[in-house]
Amino acid sequence: MKHAAKAIATVLAGLALTVTLTAQAADLKEIEARGTLKVATEDDYAPFNFITDGQPDGFHKDILAELKSYATKFKIDQSILPWTGLLASVSAGQYDVAITGALVTDERLNVFDFVAPVASAQHYYVKRKGDDRIKSVADLSGKVVGVQAGSALLARLPELKAMLEAKGGKLGEVVEYQSYPEAYADLANGRLDYVINAVISVNDLVKTRGDVFEKGQAVSGGGFVSWPVPKNNPQLLAFLNGFVKHLKETGKLHELQVKWFGEPFDNLPDGAITSVEQFHKLANLK
């Protein structure tokens, strides 16, 4: 019943994201006129966004502090939302941008343009520590996998499916969750065989809970963490690209990447990602 409810929530979120909406997101001049940039973040995706003692924490907390200093013509109005439905709220014009650990995908590029990436994102599997049944990607054949509902990890599962089929295997049951802590809990108690997440989040999980979980191998090609802005907002997109450029030039992005991710990503694309073709070229996807 729990998994069925999550599946229904995922379907509804997908419909909300893809249906043509009458609301129009604000471009920069309107944002400056009203005096606020409406930013949507989430609260349960470490190390990007999470809560400590009731307060926002993580990489994007520090990013927003920098943005508040950088933006001189408006204030930053942050709203913390659950992941399911967050992107649909941005696409509906309720918020101007999602500053969270969103990954670029083909489907999302139909609705959003993405600001210059702030981190790399390749997908890895994570398993229970000591689970000797799984030693490589080939051993994932037929096993139960957990992913976050509505996430890029779910959208790119066909890459893993192709990898398994090339080795004579098959993709097993896929269980969708509203948040990764739920998925990790089910992995720890044996309801799942493995979970797929972006490399930064997998590294953070193993760093903090290495007694329970173990990092596996890559199950996708390259990817990017970037902030989605609704299509047809070129001035806002340019402003946020300028902000990321500022973070790079001042060394602040490098500093925050090392602080929160344990490593810098100094070879990320400098410009916005606005089309599927451009994304595939940058990520070396076929």
- 165 contacts: CB under 8 Å, gap ≥ 6: none
pLDDT recorded at residue 22? 37
User: How many whole angstroms separate alpha carbon 176 and alpha carbon 286?
Assistant: 26
Q: φ and ψ at 67, to 5 degrees?
A: -65, -35
DSSP assignment of 14-68 equals: HHHHHS--S-----HHHHHHHTEEEEEE-SEETTTEEEETTEEESHHHHHHHHHH
pLDDT recorded at residue 25? 66
CA contacts within 13 A on the Cβ side of 243: 22
User: How many whole angstroms separate alpha carbon 209 and alpha carbon 232?
Assistant: 42
pLDDT recorded at residue 237? 98
Which 3 state secondary structure label does DSSP give 174?
strand
Angstrom distances, CA of residue 10 to CA of 16, 194, 198, 212: 10, 20, 19, 28
pLDDT recorded at residue 153? 86
Phi-psi region of 93 (alpha: psi -120 to 50; beta: other; left: phi over 0): left
- 187 contacts: CB under 8 Å, gap ≥ 6: 126, 127, 128, 146, 193, 194, 195, 213
Q: φ and ψ at 130, to 5 degrees?
A: 90, 0
DSSP 168: T
Q: Please, what sign has the CA dihedral across residues 252, 121, 195, 137? A: negative
pLDDT averaged over 10-residue windows placed end to end, the chain, 286 residues:
39 44 72 98 91 95 98 97 93 96 93 97 95 98 95 88 96 95 97 95 92 96 94 97 98 97 90 96 83
